[in-house]
Amino acid sequence: MLNAILYVAEHGCKWRGLPKRFGNWHTSLFRRLKAYRRILSRVEKLDVMFTAFINFALIADGLRLLTGPKLHHREMIRLAAFDIILDRLASDSKHMVRSFQNPSAREDSSRRRFLKISAGCVMASGLPACATQAADTAAQARARGSALLDTVLSVDMHSHAGGVLGRNAVARDIASPMKQGKLSALCLSLVSDSILLAHGSQKQYARREPQPGELHAYLSNRMDFADRLIADQKLARILTLADLQASQRQGVPGAILAVEGSDFLEGRVEHLQTAYDRGIRHWQLVHYRADNALGDIQTEHPLYGGATPFGLDVVRRCNQLGLVLDVAHATLPTVKQVAQVSTTPLVLSHTGFSTNVLKPETRWIGVDHARHVADTGGVVGIWANGHSFNTLADYANSLARLVEAIGIDHVGIGTDMEAMHPTTMTSYANWSELIGHLLTHFTAAEVTKIAGGNYLRIFDQVTRPKGGAARSAT
């Protein structure tokens, strides 16, 4: 119930707009309120449910008024002046309820008592009483993370920042937030099938088949856009780990160009060379097209029983060229077959992770799926899904759970920036805060691996010149 109040307070949505994880707003939530009926026995002339609803809304409005929309749930409940809120809400309640009914002064007193009792229930739950403490917690996390990021490299393994999903002009400044949050580099992902996709109620899907040459031309356009974006934002183009280390010394954020979905190849593996020559160094095999001639995807009924012969040829060519191989969106059978062929560790750059039984055709993965990637020496990245994580601390908790399942050497961060709605990582300026929260779970050396070290170990192995010595990823 408290989480529901705070969700409405932060997002400003209507009660019927609450996500399903809070339960049925007009039954489950208010059934809990009715449990306080004995406490509210003096409320005689107003319907208990009506009173509960009005005060429920008023408490949420008051919290939103005093804390602002950008504070996280845990911050919102740490209010030092809670009694002041109650006085204001009691007054507002009197005027609002009068617009519906004409209660007596004794009923006004009852409403005030209701608010006092409701607040007592909240405070009795053991929540901290100071709003500044929560703000300080976020600030402390940023300080801890920032101190570590001053000395190590970090990478977002999957990002669409800056408008690469399809806009023809630079969407927003990304270099400044990266500098503020001390993010060393991002994998800037160009989506090869984006112009075909539609959004359904539960997932994205390809609404039509492409015309011959259409996807190849489209991705070429996206690579042109990425070149302009890198120049406009004064980012460093990262082709090797040495490039990233050099850009870090100069204080310049870097971009590793990536492709999401091999659809643009259109059955011609030689097109990989073209992408490589344009600076692509990270290659995701499949995306949202089921009929892709490469392999089965998670969000559609399987067509191939895993990877196709052509898909495995693409894997081999990626190994030869020096492209990091990404199996995000691929089904577990596809991942298993790719793992048997690939001579380099696999990356699964962005996904949700759960130890529970998963529904069919979901983008989430379970323990077995994650371990198959880890067994190649690879890395699994968790996305910044705002439906799953209310705060960056929650996001860090999810990363910690994945570490428990597959080990510290196989976990990374892939936010899916600008493609995840809502997102927990609203700006790269908050990157250092996430890293700070991870430091409450792990040592600095362990966080260094999650923040980018694990990915860069693979990136260096795959991209360094033949015969070159391995470099430290810190």
173 pLDDT band (50/70/90 cuts)? confident
For residue 383, which phi and psi values (nearest 5 degrees)? -85, 165
* Superfamily, domain 137-463: Metal-dependent hydrolases (3.20.20.140)
Question: Can you give the pLDDT at residue 15?
Answer: 56
- Given a contact cutoff of 8 angstroms between Cβ atoms, the answer to whether 386 and 420 are in contact is yes
Give the lowest-confidence range in 35-49, 181-195, 412-426: 35-49
Under the banding of pLDDT at 50, 70 and 90, the label for residue 85 is very low
Of 57, 44, 59, 67, residue with least CA distance to 117: 59
Mean pLDDT over 87-94 rounds to 45
Kindly tell me if the per-residue pLDDT of 70 is higher than 70: no
| Predicted pLDDT of residue 443 | 97
Q: Hey, where are the domains in the chain?
A: 2-129, 137-463
**For the chain, how long is the longest CA-to-CA vector?**
87
Question: Which residues have C-beta within 8 Å of that of residue 202, sequence separation ≥ 6?
Answer: none
Q: Do residues 402 and 106 make contact, with C-beta atoms less than 8 angstroms apart?
A: no
Task: Tell me the range of 33-42, 122-131, 353-362, 422-431 where mean pLDDT is highest.
Answer: 422-431
pLDDT digits (tens, 9 = 90+) for 429-465: 999 999 999 999 999 999 999 999 999 999 999 998 8
Instruction: Give the C-alpha separation, 1 to 243, whole Å.
Output: 51
Supply the DSSP symbol for 295: B
Confidence category of residue 250, pLDDT binned at 50, 70, 90: very high
Q: How far apart are CA 159 and CA 156, in angstroms?
A: 7
Average pLDDT, the chain: 81
* Residue 56 confidence class, pLDDT cut points 50, 70, 90: low
The residue whose two tokens read 């004409």 is: 102
pLDDT at 453: 98
SS3 per residue for 312-360: HHHHHHHHHHCCEEECCCECHHHHHHHHHHCCCCEEEEEEEECCCCCCC
Does residue 92 carry a pLDDT above 60?
no
Count of other CB atoms within 10 angstroms of residue 226: 24
How large is the average pLDDT for residues 122-132?
Answer: 42
**Which among 113-127, 205-219, 340-354 has the top mean pLDDT?**
340-354
Spatial contact of 429 and 417, defined as CB atoms under 8 Å apart: no
Report pLDDT digits (tens) over 372-409: 999 999 999 999 999 999 999 999 999 999 999 999 99
Contact 263, 314 (CB under 8 A): no
Which SS3 state, helix, strand or coil, does residue 281 take?
strand
Task: Calculate mean pLDDT across residues 421-425.
Answer: 93
Angle (nearest 5°) at CA 307 between 302 and 308: 100
Give the pLDDT confidence of 314-370 residue by residue, as tens digits.
999 999 999 999 999 999 999 999 999 999 999 999 999 998 888 889 999 999 999
Count Cβ neighbours within 10 Å for each residue of 419-448 and write b for 16 or more, e otherwise.
bbeebbbebbbbbbbbbbbbbebbeeebbb
Highest mean pLDDT among 88-97, 101-110, 131-140, 328-337: 328-337
* pLDDT of 187 above 80: yes
Residue type, 406: I
What percent of the chain stands above pLDDT 70? Answer: 68
